[in-house]
Amino acid sequence: MSVYIKSSAVISSFNSFGSDVELNESADTSFIQANEPPYSDYIPRNLIRRMSRVVKMSIACSSKIKNDSGISDYGAILVGTGLGCVVDSEKFLIQVSEDETSVLSPTPFIQSTHNTMAGQIALLETQHCENMTYSNRGHSFENALMDGMMYIKEGRDNVLVGGSDELSPIVKELHQKLCLSKPSAFLKKVGEGAGFFLLSGVAEKGKTRIEDLLTFEVNGKDDFKNKLEKFILKHDLHSGLDLVLLGAVKGKIDPFSQILLSLLSDSIGVGTFKEVSGEFHTASAVGLALADKLLQGEGFDHDIWVNRPEKTRPKKVLIYNNYLGHNHSLYLLSV
Amino acid sequence: MKKVYVSGVGIISALGVGVAEHARKLFSKETGIAPVSILPTKHRAYHVGEIKKTTQDLAESHRWAEFNDKSRNIVLGAYALSEAIESAELNTDQLNETGFINATTVGGMDKTEVIHGQLLAQESVDLSTYLHHDCGDSGHALGNHFGLNGFRSTISTACSSSTNSIMQGARMIKLGISERMIVGGVDALSLFTFNGFRSLQILDPDWCKPFDMNRKGLNLGEGAAYLVLESEESLQERNGKALAEISGYGNANDAFHQTASSEEGNGAYMAMNSAIENSGLQLDQIDYVNAHGTATPINDSSEGNALKRIFGTKIPPYSSTKAYTGHTLAAAGSVEAVISIIAIREQKVCPNLNLTAPIESINPPAQDATKLSIKHVLSNSFGFGGNCSSVIISAV
């Protein structure tokens, strides 16, 4: 059973909403902010004001997919998020920490639940289908995607899958402190964003096909290498692979990504998506959307290349990601 | 179609530690709910379903030294998980290939609350504490401690979270992705959730009264419960014993409001309906319904209406056990799945507590531990975001 990406939408330091979108480059060295589209084009105006950014990014992505695909009846709605509605959570926590006995506004509490994004999509489109939210660190999005692939196997069509996270003042502050106190090969600029996908089991010419998704934890580098070798052998990746997209940054490729590169042919193109997304629990949703763009021949203007691929339109792409050296994942995609 | 069996269960809640203590208290109508004693809130008179030991005491009494400075979720989870593993009699090798789907909504909120206090006071912050904030933290800490090295996931769909983890585990076994999964959830009391529900004015400061006309709201609770799910092949191979079967599940979205349920209970109706369809059972085969029954004015009337739409005038004996444990949020589904298995084992309905004037829209809930032939139990969990889930647990 194959799973195809019928349509995708992404918001990161780049987005897929306009035709000439500039990269949102911040002078700050510790975080990368999302380049948000004009929300009023995608979300009812009366609702925008009340929604937090992570909800707006998610709704904008699902609306764009609806506009592009013409489909608004979903087989299931499945969202992954690492920190959920962290800005509203912080707002409510601050109220509680300051004075628990004062009159507390319930609004940020109501909007703080992790399933707000999936719930709001269901509410806006009146979708009663299965609705799930995964919050599992660097595998939050992968859990949602795997569930989507399971629903396709069970015979559903048009399954909406997404990953989204937002930056908050406290996340930024603590991350900055962490970067200063514990320099490590895995620490990157912290980021935010959303990537949403409409999955189908119906083959459509030219659409990106998800051949495999593997999520795993490792016990040391040898165990990691063994697991990679098995995956490479299973899919015969010594030939035919055009590009590997790493959840890394150009100048500071982490040790696990280095091991992967050592196992693949030197002529393969190598790109680094966290160069533009930054690090967050669901950054791989941005990575998948970027890979989908490249496989669809849309190209990408920004310099993410360690080794620019020979073909301008790759046919087979491997994504490898980890979160702070844990929560490893491999995606094999083709057209 | 492949069958999915339950081969082990574990539970901790305000009722106590373990299945035996839960069974004893449920059938002798003894509640675990009392005024606050551990939670560091100023609202001490509120009644909550609290486990009356500090996190450190709980960790130390099991000599889980590595959990001493960890979130309460991890320690509560460890109690329920160790019982589930022992009752299924799983060895290290079997655990190594077992998948784990945890469910939580608060994650390490108790630790985050400490950090926020420090940040506000401009004190120095222990950064490692912040790494326990996210919902994924407890699942990975527990998975690592107990050597559960198969597939791992964490679900966070508010109060339906652990019912969804049961459904996901069962689907993975049916699809042949995994042969054995541990599923369930955990949520500790936190200032965040306690004050959240208080600010929404849906907490009853006294004992909650599910399905009573004068119900005022819920009592917040805390706890954890896990179930070991296995395929028939896996049970046969290791000579394991089935305690129950997961025979159906359903998940639907109410698509009505971010927090409130629709009056006619659309989501609840669809979730129950899809669970019953999924099980292939007839309506009259459902012997007992463990209702979501939070005791908020909206939930109980909406759920009652949905029950009436499903069963008509023949609603099976039903009750809410929230007046024993409090509403344990993400853990509620697995806590009540374990309670449903207790009801099947003892062939008794769990009595609904604190009822003086039962709601009139449907027949009143069961108030006595009546002896009854119970083969199939329907258990409901509904949450914020319109998430509604139902699971059917059957005798083997």
Query: Does B253 reach chain A within 8 Å, measured CB to CB?
Result: yes
Token pair recorded at residue A256: 């696990």
Query: Does B262 reach chain A within 8 Å, measured CB to CB?
Result: no
What's residue B380's pLDDT? 98
Residue numbers in A near B191 (CB within 8 A) = 96, 100
Q: Which of A90, A119, A215 sits opposite B258 (nearest CB)?
A: A119
Residue A21 scores a pLDDT above 80: no
What's the one-letter identity of residue B186?
A: V
Inspect the interface and report whether the beta carbons of A178 and B127 lie closer than 8 Å.
yes
Would you say residue B185 lies in a domain?
yes
Query: B185 with B333, same domain?
Result: no
Would you say residue B274 lies in a domain?
yes
- Mention every residue, 6+ apart, whose C-beta is less than 8 A from residue A296: A206, A208, A335
Structural domain containing residue B73 = 4-238
Q: What is the share, in percent, of chain B residues with pLDDT greater than 70? A: 100
Distance CA A325, CA A332 (A): 20
Rg of the Cα atoms in chain B: 20
Give the end of a domain, one of B179, B207, B238. B238
Query: B205 with B332, same domain?
Result: no
Decide: A213 and A288 in contact? Cβ < 8 Å.
no
In three-state form (DSSP H/G/I as H, E/B as E, the rest C), the secondary structure along A253-279 is CCHHHHHHHHHCCCCCEEEECHHHHCE
Would you say residue B101 lies in a domain?
yes
What's residue B378's pLDDT? 98
Query: B202 with B283, same domain?
Result: no
Query: B204 with B113, same domain?
Result: yes
Query: B16 with B116, same domain?
Result: yes
Decide: A175 and A30 in contact? Cβ < 8 Å.
yes
- Mention every residue, 6+ apart, whose C-beta is less than 8 A from residue B258: A110, A111, A116, A119, A120, A123, B384, B385, B386
Q: What is the mean pLDDT of residues A293-305?
A: 91
Would you say residue B243 lies in a domain?
no
B301 — pLDDT class (breaks 50, 70, 90): very high
Residue numbers in A near B171 (CB within 8 A) = 150, 154
What's residue A24's pLDDT? 64
Inspect the interface and report whether the beta carbons of B136 and A217 lie closer than 8 Å.
no
Q: What is the mean pLDDT of residues A171-185?
A: 78
Lowest average pLDDT, out of A318-327, B12-21, B114-123, goes to B114-123
Q: What is the mean pLDDT of residues B88-101?
A: 97
Query: Does A164 reach chain B within 8 Å, measured CB to CB?
Result: no
Query: B74 with B193, same domain?
Result: yes
Query: B155 with B112, same domain?
Result: yes
Inspect the interface and report whether the beta carbons of B383 and A115 lie closer than 8 Å.
yes
Inspect the interface and report whether the beta carbons of B116 and A94 lie closer than 8 Å.
yes
Distance from CA of B195 to the nearest CA of A (A): 7
Decide: B107 and A89 in contact? Cβ < 8 Å.
no
What average pLDDT does chain B have? Answer: 96
Residues 216-235 of A with CB under 8 A from B: 217
Would you say residue B201 lies in a domain?
yes
Distance from CA of A250 to the nearest CA of B (A): 26
Q: Which of A111, A132, A139 sits opposite B157 (nearest CB)?
A: A132
Token pair recorded at residue A161: 């899958």
Q: What is the share, in percent, of chain B residues with pLDDT greater than 90? A: 89
pLDDT tens digit string along B32-62? Answer: 999 999 999 999 999 999 999 999 999 988 8
Query: Does B196 reach chain A within 8 Å, measured CB to CB?
Result: yes
Q: Which of B41, B158, B255 sits opposite A122 (nearest CB)?
A: B255
| Count of domains observed in chain B | 2
Token pair recorded at residue A316: 């087979």
Would you say residue B194 lies in a domain?
yes
Query: Does B198 reach chain A within 8 Å, measured CB to CB?
Result: yes
Query: B216 with B131, same domain?
Result: yes
Residue numbers in A near B192 (CB within 8 A) = 89, 92-93, 96, 109
Residues 281-310 of A with CB under 8 A from B: 281
B303 — pLDDT class (breaks 50, 70, 90): very high
Residue B123 scores a pLDDT above 90: no
Tally of CB atoms within 10 A around B28 = 9
Residue numbers in A near B251 (CB within 8 A) = 130-132
Residue A179 scores a pLDDT above 80: no
Decide: A147 and B153 in contact? Cβ < 8 Å.
no
pLDDT tens digit string along B139-170? Answer: 999 999 999 999 999 999 999 999 999 999 99
Inspect the interface and report whether the beta carbons of A153 and B252 lie closer than 8 Å.
no
Residue A105 scores a pLDDT above 80: yes
Decide: B246 and B393 in contact? Cβ < 8 Å.
yes
Query: B64 with B8, same domain?
Result: yes
Catalogue the active-site residues of B. 159, 292, 327
Inspect the interface and report whether the beta carbons of A173 and B120 lie closer than 8 Å.
no
What's residue B47's pLDDT? 98
Read off the DSSP letter of residue B285.
G
Inspect the interface and report whether the beta carbons of A128 and B200 lie closer than 8 Å.
no
Q: What is the mean pLDDT of residues A296-308?
A: 91
Lowest average pLDDT, out of A27-36, A271-280, B96-105, B268-277, goes to A27-36
Give the end of a domain, one of B196, B214, B238. B238
Tally of CB atoms within 10 A around A239 = 7
What's residue A30's pLDDT? 82
Inspect the interface and report whether the beta carbons of B134 and A281 lie closer than 8 Å.
yes
pLDDT tens digit string along A47-100? Answer: 999 899 999 999 999 999 999 999 989 999 999 999 999 999 999 999 998 899
Inspect the interface and report whether the beta carbons of A100 and B134 lie closer than 8 Å.
no
Query: B60 with B95, same domain?
Result: yes
B63 — pLDDT class (breaks 50, 70, 90): confident
Inspect the interface and report whether the beta carbons of A113 and B43 lie closer than 8 Å.
no
What's residue A19's pLDDT? 59
What average pLDDT does chain A have? Answer: 93
Residue numbers in A near B41 (CB within 8 A) = 100
Beta strand spans in chain B (E)? 4-13, 16-17, 34-35, 47-48, 99-103, 152-155, 180-187, 223-231, 244-253, 288-290, 318-319, 376-382, 387-394
Nearest CA in chain A to B386: A119
Q: What is the mean pLDDT of residues A135-152?
A: 98
pLDDT tens digit string along B242-290? Answer: 999 999 999 999 999 988 899 999 999 999 999 999 999 999 999 999 9
Residues 43-72 of B with CB under 8 A from A: 43
Query: Does B113 reach chain A within 8 Å, measured CB to CB?
Result: yes
Give the end of a domain, one of B195, B217, B238. B238
Inspect the interface and report whether the beta carbons of A131 and B385 lie closer than 8 Å.
yes
Query: Which of B116, B149, B153, B254 is the best substitution to test chain A (most A C-beta atoms within 10 A)?
Result: B153
Residue numbers in B near A182 (CB within 8 A) = 127
What's residue A188's pLDDT? 84
Q: What is the share, in percent, of chain A residues with pLDDT greater than 90? A: 81
Residue A221 scores a pLDDT above 60: yes
Domains (range + CATH), chain A: 3-200 (3.40.47.10), 208-334 (3.40.47.10)
Q: Pick the residue with more confidence: A311 or A146? A: A146
ipTM of the complex in this document: 0.97
Query: B278 with B300, same domain?
Result: yes
What's residue A129's pLDDT? 98
Query: B183 with B260, same domain?
Result: no
Inspect the interface and report whether the beta carbons of B157 and A115 lie closer than 8 Å.
yes
Q: Which of A106, A126, A135 sits opposite B199 (nearest CB)?
A: A106
How large is the angle between the packed helices B332-346 and B19-27, nearest 10 degrees?
70
Nearest CA in chain B to A215: B151
A171 — pLDDT class (breaks 50, 70, 90): confident
Q: What is the mean pLDDT of residues B106-117?
A: 89
A26 — pLDDT class (breaks 50, 70, 90): low
Query: Does A181 reach chain B within 8 Å, measured CB to CB?
Result: yes
Query: Does A133 reach chain B within 8 Å, measured CB to CB?
Result: yes
Q: What is the mean pLDDT of residues B165-185?
A: 98
Distance from CA of B163 to the nearest CA of A (A): 11
Q: Which of B266, B267, B385 sits opposite A113 (nearest CB)?
A: B385
A25 — pLDDT class (breaks 50, 70, 90): low
Question: Residue B224 is part of a domain; what is its CATH number?
Answer: 3.40.47.10
- Mention every residue, 6+ apart, whose C-beta is less than 8 A from residue A74: A125, A127, A129, A158, A159, A160
